[in-house]
Structure 1
Amino acid sequence: MKKWFLALILLLSAGYILTQGKSFTLDVPNETNPLLKGESVSITLNKNQIFQGDLLLVNKHYPVREQGVKSDVVTLAQHEELVRGYGLLDPSIQSSKSVMEPFLAMMDAAAQDGVNQFLINSGYRDAKRQNELYLEMGQEYALPAGYSEHNLGLSLDIGSAQEEMSRAPEGRWLQKHAWSHGFILRYPKDKSAVTGIQYEPWHFRYVGLPHSVIMKEKNLTLEEYLEYLKEHPTLSATVEGVEYQIQYYRVSGNMTIQVPAHQQVELSGNNSDGVIVTVRV
């Protein structure tokens, strides 16, 4: 027992964490740019990229830019391959195809745990629909057009066919496991002062791996995580044996950076002043 406890202490001190059976490590390297390992290629970052990607912050201070809206938004009911493991409250509901791929994997995982009464209540909303909702519900319950995450195509309002999400098995399962599939509970109960939005147990936002895992482990909202990246612009994370390198760049004009030549590289702006480069090693 003492040996096991000592081993656990050593793992934790090394940054190794076990959460819901998932392994995760996070390091803040001393290197100025850990992306420069092996053969590299040049890419150019520009101010337009600040307003595109899966990590965009949208709230009352940072509106959606036209280039930030996902280009692959579809009407889900018209794509049978995208409707599996959940129901649609309305056949007109839309979402991004690239968001639905990890969402379906998440639904499959939930079904394996016997949780399978999910409903999608809302997804992507265009400016017209958002404005209608704002006029119908008022500012206490809706945001004006251009200031809602639903205008991006990255968020889903998820319900349960059984009961209210805060009590339903579906809601409890998502709060425990959504992060491991790249999704976050966007408006947690204890973070209203940070997000400016009351607790919404149904509103989940796609940010991708490893960002969702880091946010979960550090108990950070998207607002807090983007500030964390500015304070720690170089991060290295390992999730389930997959290594990721993260680098934040403040972008004020065109700038050239080096990235690995044969690795998966994703770019996302923060909708404010910078671009996050994520490399899957």
Structure 2
Amino acid sequence: MSKKKISKEKSIRRAKTMTEIVISLVLVGTGAFFIRNSFNHAKTIEPSPYVEENDIQIDDPEATTVPDPNQTIYESLAVDTKDKFRGDLILVNKEHQYFGGDEDLVSITDMNYENEIDCFSAVDSTYTILRNVYEPMTKMVQDFYDKYHNDTLIIYGSYRSSEFQQELYDADVSANGGEESSRVAKAGFSEHETGLAFDFSETENNDYQGTGDFEWINANCYKYGFIVRYTSSKEKITGFQNEPWHFRYVGIPHAFYMDMHDLCLEEYIDLIREHPYERLNDHLEFTDDNGKEYEVYFVKSDDGNEKTTVPVPAGVRYDISGNNVDGFIVTVYKGQKPIVEEEEVTTKAFEDTSEENTENSDGEENDNSEEDYSDEY
């Protein structure tokens, strides 16, 4: 082959190679152009407003908190605000009037007859007391009788109407020639008007002082829900001198606490007020002689409304009582189930004795004769 022909073939191959290189560069340049153009027109995508920015929390089954079975769960109960004037713990004294009415009263004599109770008596069938007080009062006297076989106790002071209380007050003012009585409570300010209080006497000496056999009653009455309302040590607080014959029902938990801590009712009401519901870890808690546990707290009444919201424990027995001053006292019987209302036991009917009967009289000296059964105030 001639040199001229070889040189020509080389020139053709070189030209072809150069063409391929140029085409490749053009393709590379074009691709780079489009890629750069795409980046220049790209937009930042904002997060969707419908997606929460927080990380999704996945519950760990092993980390689940187990509820404390001993923790009290409270629920709201709407009660009539005016009911702060009702209940076993109402405070009635010279400063706090009793706004009563519709008391569920029973004749002590009639109830004794129906239940075949003959270990104590009342002056006559007109002497009445609240239905819920009759049973613990009777049980206390029956236990006293079983121990000492003494059947001389007689109820000479129990419920009395406001009208009768006023008569007693006026009579004492007239007898002493003064403008006011220092011995008899004004109408509306006597515990006897509540039906929660009663006075003992005895048929042999007509003078109950809580001594001798009767000392057992005064020392153990708290076990039945009663307190000796007026003692010499609390005279400056209660405003009344020692009355060992005057008993007041407040309920077993409260009678126990007052007896153990030597508190009169005024002091106890003040103490409970220091343990409001809002301070959940500072409710008044105690255990009685029988190992029963109680929790007590105060709820202020909503005096601007007809209803007051009272927190109460769910699934546990509790009582609510007004204090006759500024709110409600809730008593929780810890570990006890709510009491199911039972049908009312049929008892012998008795006539209304609100006006024409003689009821029970009143006066300071404990001169308890058959003709005049009177008490301190």
TM-score if structure 1 supplies the norm length? 0.80
2:144 is equivalent to residue 110 of structure 1: yes
Q: What are the superposed Cα offsets for residues 242-264 of structure 1, whole Å, 9 maximum, x if unpaired? A: 22211111223444343233332
Counterpart residue number, 2:130:
96
Q: Count residues in correspondence.
A: 244
User: Which amino acid counterpart does residue 74 of structure 1 have in structure 2?
Assistant: V
User: C-alpha displacement at 1:187, in angstroms?
Assistant: 0.6
Aligned to 2:300: 250
User: Given the superposition, is the C-alpha separation of residues 154 and 279 from structure 1 closer, same or farther in structure 2, using an over 3 Å criterion?
Assistant: same
The alignment status of 1:147 with 2:180, answered yes or no, reads no
1:226-273 Cα offsets, whole Å, 9 max, x none, are 011112341112221222211111223444343233332211111110
What is the DSSP-based 3-state SS (H/G/I as helix, E as strand, rest coil) of the residue aligned with 1:64? coil
Q: CA deviation at 1:160?
A: 1.9
Match of 1:238 among 248, 262, 287: 287
* Distance verdict in 2 for CA 1:84–1:274, change over 3 Å: farther
Question: For the Cα contact (< 8 Å) 2:210–2:245, is it kept in 1?
Answer: no
Q: CA deviation at 1:124?
A: 0.4
Q: Residue 117 of structure 1 contacts residue 170 of structure 1 at CA under 8 Å; is this kept in 2? A: no
State the alpha-carbon separation in 2 of the partners of residues 40 and 229 from structure 1.
19
Look up the SS of the partner of 1:58 in the other structure: coil
Matched with 1:272 is 325
Report deviation, 1:84.
4.3
- State the partner residue of 2:20: none
Q: Deviation at 1:109? A: 1.7
Q: Distance in 1 between matches of 2:171 and 2:228?
A: 25
Q: Percent identity?
A: 33
Letter in 2 for 1:160: E
| Deviation of 1:157 (Å) | 0.8
RMSD: 2.0
Uncovered stretches (5+) of structure 2, i.e. residues with no partner: 1-69, 174-180, 277-282, 335-377
Structure with the greater relative contact order (CA < 8 A, sep ≥ 6): 1 or 2?
1
The alignment's TM-score, normalised by the length of structure 2, stands at 0.61
Q: 1:81 aligns with which of 91, 110, 114?
A: 114
Partner of 1:209: 252
Q: Deviations over 1:132-170 (max 9, x none)?
A: 221223323311211100000000011122332225435
What SS does the aligned partner of 1:186 have?
Answer: strand
Which one has a larger percent strand, Structure 1 or Structure 2? 1
Distance 2:269 2:214 in 1: 26
Higher Cα Rg: structure 1 or 2?
2
**Distance in 2, Cα, partners of 1:129 & 1:232:** 38
Task: Work out the CA distance in 2 between the residues paired with 1:252 and 1:258.
Answer: 13
**Equivalent residue for 1:133, pick from 168, 179, 184:** 168
String of CA shifts for 1:180-200, please: whole Å, max 9, x gaps: 110000011221111011111
> In the alignment, is the contact (CA less than 8 A) between 1:118 and 1:170 conserved in 2?
no
